[in-house]
Amino acid sequence: MRIFILPLILLGFPTIEVLVMVLVAQKLGWWLLVWLIISFVAGLMLLREEQFALAGRLAAALVEGRDPLQALVASGRVMLAGFLLAFPGLVSDLLALGVLLWPRGKSRAPGQAREVIEGQFRRED
């Protein structure tokens, strides 16, 4: 059963993209083509910008003492969104916007605890 999941996903996603594009093209006409061209260009711009920003993010994370994996994850998110925007289709564009707008976790130093409660205490025996 598991062997059929990957081909189903690989064939199902483009099929859904084409179906949604045909339905939207019937309503919007040529505006869909304009949207697809703009999203393709935006995806390429994201990929090109992130290609150069990755090294800077890694260097900044190392200098500031933060986890470099956080920088890799942030760059990976932007690259995934760029690939999804460059892929023609409305469903992939919505997924790319979701990836870009998903809230990021706060970055911490490697040895920093999650929660610190400061105060004074007194031991009573």
Q: Average per-residue pLDDT in the chain?
A: 86
Per 3-state DSSP, the chain is made up of helix, strand and coil in percentages (nearest 5) of: 75, 0, 25
Residue 49, pLDDT above cutoff 70: yes
Per-residue pLDDT tens digits for 51-98: 888 888 889 888 988 888 888 888 899 999 999 999 988 999 999 999
Alpha-carbon distances, residue 75 vs 48, 56, 115 (angstroms) = 12, 10, 27
Residue 122, pLDDT above cutoff 90: no
Percentage of the residues of the chain whose pLDDT score is greater than 70 = 90
Q: What is the CA radius of gyration of the chain?
A: 22
What span, in angstroms and rounded, lies between the C-alpha atoms of 9 and 71? 29
Using an 8 Å Cβ cutoff, are 25 and 90 in contact? no
- Tokens read off for 7: 């081909």
What span, in angstroms and rounded, lies between the C-alpha atoms of 102 and 108? 19
The confidence score (pLDDT) of residue 92 equals 93
